[in-house]
Each structure stands twice: as structure tokens, then as C-alpha cells.
Structure 1
Amino acid sequence: MAMVGLFWIAEDGGVYVGAQPEGYGCGVRLTRDWVEGLGTGQSAVWGWSEIRSVAVRYVRIRSGARLLATTAVDLVLNAVAGGSDAAAAFEVHLETADRTVELNAQSAASLGGYVQSEYDLSVTLLERLVAGTAEVDTLAGWGRAHAAEGTPRREQREALLRKWASEG
């Protein structure tokens, strides 16, 4: 699996906003045809045509310089405290014709949070997916070809997000 911005992309082409959930854990999966809420209390499916807008809330964001400092502090605290299994959570809000659905997702960025530029590009890509001007299949295809290699370096992630957010 590989993390590219807010997206966790699996070798089998699975695409998630945030980390892929385990067991009954909460998460958000994207497919060619729908957005799926996973986990207890939010298991449901919404077709892309049903979704009018998407918003992401409560994402832990760090600037590039602050990311280095907070990552170092997080590593020390995890080593001293024995680590933690609890990942930071955030919300994905889907606006449909009749309501706004709030889905919980687990952060895939376990240390330090996300960099602002990757967050911004990810939100732009999500908006394009909702508008129908980008395709989940693009991310899934990249995952089948490259996710086994692991998470790309930051520059590569940003380049992928820019490409996906501008070309689809």
C-alpha cells in the first residue's frame, strides 16, 4: 500500500480516503461508481451522481518545517510511551440532495500529520472526482502498478497529486 496525500492506495487497486480500515474500523472507500462508508455505524454507499460536494474536516496538517520537528517529537514520545495504536481521525462530509453525511476516516499519516500542499491537492482531486472530471480508476491503476513499492517521496506524491488534480 502507498499513501499519496489523503489517499491510501492498495496494490489491488483499492482507493481509500485515509487509511484502509481493519475489521470493523471506520473508513471511506472510493470506487469507479460510488463512495462507500465502512465500519460500524456508517456502512452505506453513495453513487458519485448523488454527491453534490465533498469536504474534509479535522485533518492534522503541518507545514514542511514544522513536520520535521513534530515527527521527531512524535517518534520520541512513541518510543518512550510505548507507541499507540490509535490513529488520528478526520471526517469526510458528503453533501447529497437531501442531507450531509459525515463519515469518519483514520489518518494514514501516523507521524506529524499531512503537509498543507498535499492536503490542498487532495481536496482539489476529491472535488474533481465529485464533479466527474477525474476518475478513481486513475488512482487505482497507479496502485496496481506502483503501490507495492511503498509510499513515494514527498516530491513524487505532490507531482502525482498535481497530475491527477489537473488531468484526472
Structure 2
Amino acid sequence: MAMVGLFWIAEGDVYVGAKPTGSAPGVRLTPEGVLALGDGQAGLFLWEDVRALTMADVPVKTLKRQIGAVTELALDAVVNLALPGGPGPSGGGPAMMALRVETPDGDRALSAYAAAAVGYTETEADLSQALLSRLTDGAATMATTLAAMSAWGRTWEGSSPRTAQREELLREWLS
């Protein structure tokens, strides 16, 4: 499983944001449509009904965000050394993003956690938004694009690729 832009690809499954566990919210892209997962957001939006997909509240990687993450880790380590079994990590968890699904019946916002701890690069976020838009260009385009993403996920071994390779993959899936 690996993160590529705003997508989490686990074997052949493609998620927007992090792959959810348990009852956590998430969104999976299937050949049939956009599948809402987790408590409070069940449903399948068929591709034929999806007019647009856009992601809101995407955390973009900044120096301030990176320094904050390092500071938080250091503070957590000090607190846990001073208070063994104490309060645990002080962070509020990963950022929550919203995938806006536009259909003839109106818009629906689906929640998903960000997979990038300190945010996504601006380029990855932009390419991912373009890829989400491409998925709504018609059945053939959607099927080809999702198939390419799934095929890559089934053959990829290891952790998430480095930034340059992730951006290259996103560009390839856009072409």
C-alpha cells in the first residue's frame, strides 16, 4: 500500500485520502462509483451520476507545518518520558479532508483523513485535483484511469514512493 498524491492505493483498491480502518470515515473509488465508508456516511454514488469531484481542506505541506510536526513529536517524547503511561500523543490526529461529490440531486461532502502527516506538496495536491476531475470525463476515461491506478497498486512493493515518483505517476495517470 502506498500514498500517491491524495490517493491511498492498497493492492488493487484506490482510496481518496487515507484507507479507513474500523468505523473511521473514508472514500473508496470503485469501477461502479464513489463509495462512502465509515460511520455517518454510507452510500454509493454511481459514476454515471457523478458530475464533479473536488477535494476541500487539503493540508498543503509548509515549513511551518513540518516544524510543528517535529516539535509535537519532541514534546510527546518528553511528556511520555516524564509521565510513563501518561496522556499519550498530544496531536489531534491526521487532518480531515472533504471530497465534494456533485450529482444531479445536489452536492454531498464525504470525509476522509489525510494520509500525509505534514501535508501534501502543492504539485501533488494540484495533480490529484486534476485526476479527480478526469475521473468524471466519462466511463471509458474513468475505467482506464482507475484500472491503471489499481494495476500499479497490485504490482508496487514497499512504502510510498518519493515525491518526484509520486508526481510522475499522477502525470502518467492524467495522460
| Structure-2 separation of matches of 1:9 and 1:151 | 9
Unaligned runs of 5+ in 2: 77-87
2:73 is aligned with what amino acid? Answer: N
TM-score normalized with structure 1 length: 0.89
Q: Which runs of 4+ in 1 moved over 6 A?
A: none
TM-score normalized with structure 2 length: 0.85
Shift of 1:70: 3.1
Structure number with bigger Rg: 2
Identity %: 43
2:131 is aligned with what amino acid? Answer: L
| Structure-1 separation of matches of 2:93 and 2:65 | 17
Structure 2 counterpart SS, 1:29: strand
1:48 corresponds to 2:47: yes
Give the 5 Å matches for 1:9-24: 9-11=9-11, 13-24=12-23
Structure 1 counterpart SS, 2:35: strand
Structure 2 counterpart SS, 1:15: strand
| Structure-2 separation of matches of 1:119 and 1:38 | 22
Aligned to 1:77: 72
Unaligned runs of 5+ in 1: none
Shift of 1:149: 1.3
| Structure-2 separation of matches of 1:4 and 1:122 | 9
**Residue-pair matches, total:** 159
1:30 corresponds to 2:29: yes
Give the 5 Å matches for 1:74-113: 74-81=69-76, 82-83=88-89, 84=91, 86-110=93-117, 112-113=118-119
Q: C-alpha deviations, 1:91-126, integer Å up to 9, x for none?
A: 00000001101100100001x211110000001111
| Structure-2 separation of matches of 1:2 and 1:43 | 24
Structure 2 counterpart SS, 1:108: coil
Shift of 1:85: 6.3
Aligned to 2:82: none
Shift of 1:73: 3.2
Worse-superposed segment, 123-132 or 150-159: 123-132
